[in-house]
Structure 1
């Protein structure tokens, strides 16, 4: 019988520092920073708007920070983390990752400071954040020849360029063009959300609920090409074609959700929150089409922005931030009671915010929606802050 070799840890082995742990993978610092910002930015927007003294006025600051400062930045965190799994190479860690987070933080602070110089610093830092992340992602994807994921690096570049366009429009005072710039950013982000959601939700459902469901690869290809067409048509001013593309996008998205057996995930919070987010996206795309088609229905633009951005992106984000953080920190894949409350709070906040668009007594509803949102992401910071700043619970590296 052979001898079993038992490795005794050497006393000289150095434990990873808190800095090395925190900046080991993109999700750790960016999930935490973005969740904190989700709380602070909404608190400022609803309860302390007097602090908004920067170049962007109240509405356009709020729109910008929700899309690029929060939603798109979470997408960066997810892609930097997922690509390490896809390729076996970590795109950014240690000081390079800390530098990326520094760019993000400089932008968030500088946008609040009056004057052209802080606005310029914020804009350069913000755009550099997305382009730096795109470069890091592209580098590992190209090295691994992960061709199916090349579009994600291009999409991050698209987010950076859309951001730059939005900021330039603010700087030159062309507020009449801001809605188009923002809509382009929303559609680029929709492309990323659909690509990620269509890939991971069936996978998570298969593992978490034992469901045998299709990966929707064929419809997914149609879906992504239609999203690209929608973006291109909006850029060149073909808004009617964009509207038609959004209807098709919504129908495909809802059909995919139907084939994923939604009733089979009702008892698994980590899954039903993602299914609800995907439903918001599908319905939101159809509602969004009404904004671009010449139907004169008088639906406010805030409807599609909050249906897709709050119900689709943000509900998916809180589901993804919990599920992926549990997996990557070596913890059981089960949502805590606190996180289930957080899921419900974000969904209720979305519904109340949408109702507030159409009623005359909107202010109390806005306060309720903001409070629910703050509770939800504050709960995430409270529970997941220690997870994200400490080594993996199972003792594995990473």
Structure 2
């Protein structure tokens, strides 16, 4: 485990070097963390405060959902994978001009979907699909080159996320809202597979590294079961789309949605069971760790809420219909789950890969709390009340402040070389020469 997820951590700090394009494009997390976090700030501000600026055909809720999942959450995940795969395999999948080209494709997609018009939409769609294809090819190349067998499925998962993106965009173009949300759920579940796979590996590792004497079981069998049931849920969701099985509340239970719901419920229960085995009481005084535990917990809870909705076994009047709204499981998994997990991973992995001390300063800790506050306020706003709109605005402000603080604190570090590695590309080549045998 320690070899698989070795993240170099240096406490020695020297005078900061000048910004460097070579450093900025040395590893995938540097430009993609900045791009993803920056876009998350901009897109939420647009969605909440100036939605009239969003242009057709990807408008309002369709644009917001797409940009949060594919434009932010999945972008951060790919930035992490492009970085972690260098450690797992000993080979850097992308740096320099190829990484810059991937980032340009990402920027074209964001601009095209925002500007609107059919021409902009298709240009953005093509750029986004090429982004996923390029990332998958880069990951696949180093996984096979480094013989990292346990990670062979990751490029396939990235391609799956790209395919779900295309299906979603086609539904948006047709203006079919029920189908649009079903395809959004496919992307959400696909991302959950990736998030659970990554988090189940890194959270126990980080915890044991930071808490002296802490021992956490590997839980290999439950991990395999978790992956099997989450992939089964994803496969059932795909078959729902192919067969046109209705999944709207009140339509009654159907075989495929029931399989999907049962699989999600088991996946969620396994996730919460794993969390209990990770000794959460041992990390309560470690903000860099409890933020990860909390995000993982919300993913498990959100999967149970999704199972509740997809099963269609319950009366829509229960709890005023809140539990069967798509927005409930979407925000439990996407905001309270993925995004709380992301703010913790953005901080922890950036500090580790930048050779910085693994300690939170006040701005970083404030960013963690603000993201938790944003999630809680957004969930509270789901309950119909006179305060819903005010809660929504407060959630947006907390979100913007959280990620704004991250950018303010980390951008100066992300555009500079590591203090202990002034030539990042040379260092990554050196790492590739000595690590592949131990990274498998």
Structure 1 and Structure 2 fold alike (TM over 0.5):
yes
Contact 1:52 1:58 in 2 (8 A): yes
Whether 1:246 aligns to 2:264 is yes
- Secondary structure of the residue aligned to 1:34 is helix
Whether 1:354 aligns to 2:398 is no
| Cα drift, residue 304 of structure 1 | 0.2
| Distance of 1:139 and 1:17 partners within structure 2 | 30
| Distance of 1:17 and 1:315 partners within structure 2 | 29
| Distance of 2:193 and 2:422 partners within structure 1 | 34
| Cα drift, residue 395 of structure 1 | 3.5
Q: Among residues 400, 410, 417, which one is paired with 1:374 in the alignment? A: 400
Structure with the bigger RCO (C-alpha within 8 Å, sep 6+) is 2
Cα RMSD for the two superposed structures: 1.3
| Cα drift, residue 312 of structure 1 | 0.7
Contact 1:134 1:153 in 2 (8 A): yes
Q: Among residues 214, 218, 229, which one is paired with 1:215 in the alignment? A: 218
| Distance of 1:391 and 1:225 partners within structure 2 | 40
Cα–Cα, structure 1 residues 17 and 369, in superposed 2: closer, same or farther, change >3 Å? closer
- Secondary structure of the residue aligned to 2:108 is helix
| Cα drift, residue 396 of structure 1 | 5.5
Superposed, which structure 2 residues align to 1:124-273 within 5 Å? 124-210=126-212, 211-237=214-240, 238-273=256-291
Deviates more, 1:97-106 or 1:166-175: 166-175
Contact 2:19 2:417 in 1 (8 A): no
| Distance of 2:422 and 2:150 partners within structure 1 | 29
Whether 1:364 aligns to 2:415 is no
| Distance of 1:348 and 1:115 partners within structure 2 | 36
Deviates more, 1:381-390 or 1:292-301: 292-301
Q: Among residues 7, 19, 22, which one is paired with 1:20 in the alignment? A: 22
| Distance of 1:343 and 1:226 partners within structure 2 | 31
| Distance of 1:169 and 1:284 partners within structure 2 | 24
| Cα drift, residue 371 of structure 1 | 0.2
Aligned residues: 384
- Unaligned stretches of 5+ residues in structure 1: 1-14
Cα deviation digits, residues 132-180 of structure 1 (max 9, x gap): 1001000000111111001111100000000011111122333331111
| Distance of 2:19 and 2:334 partners within structure 1 | 37
Contact 1:274 1:320 in 2 (8 A): yes
Contact 2:25 2:31 in 1 (8 A): yes
Contact 1:233 1:239 in 2 (8 A): yes
Whether 1:285 aligns to 2:303 is yes
| Cα drift, residue 397 of structure 1 | 4.3
2:315 maps to what in 1?
Answer: 296
Contact 2:344 2:368 in 1 (8 A): yes
| Cα drift, residue 17 of structure 1 | 7.3
Cα deviation digits, residues 49-73 of structure 1 (max 9, x gap): 1111131120010000000000001
| Distance of 1:381 and 1:370 partners within structure 2 | 16
Cα deviation digits, residues 279-304 of structure 1 (max 9, x gap): 10111111111110112333211000
| Distance of 2:229 and 2:315 partners within structure 1 | 24
- Secondary structure of the residue aligned to 2:152 is helix
| Distance of 1:250 and 1:123 partners within structure 2 | 32
* Alignment TM-score, normalising by the size of structure 1: 0.94
| Cα drift, residue 377 of structure 1 | 0.1
| Distance of 2:356 and 2:159 partners within structure 1 | 33
1:340 maps to what in 2?
Answer: 365
| Distance of 2:208 and 2:224 partners within structure 1 | 21
Deviates more, 1:107-116 or 1:251-260: 107-116
Cα deviation digits, residues 319-360 of structure 1 (max 9, x gap): 001000001111001122111111111111111111111132
Cα–Cα, structure 1 residues 397 and 220, in superposed 2: closer, same or farther, change >3 Å? farther
1:44 maps to what in 2?
Answer: 46
- Secondary structure of the residue aligned to 2:115 is coil
Cα deviation digits, residues 8-62 of structure 1 (max 9, x gap): xxxxxxx997111100000000001111111000000001111111311200100
| Distance of 1:114 and 1:129 partners within structure 2 | 19
| Distance of 2:175 and 2:375 partners within structure 1 | 31
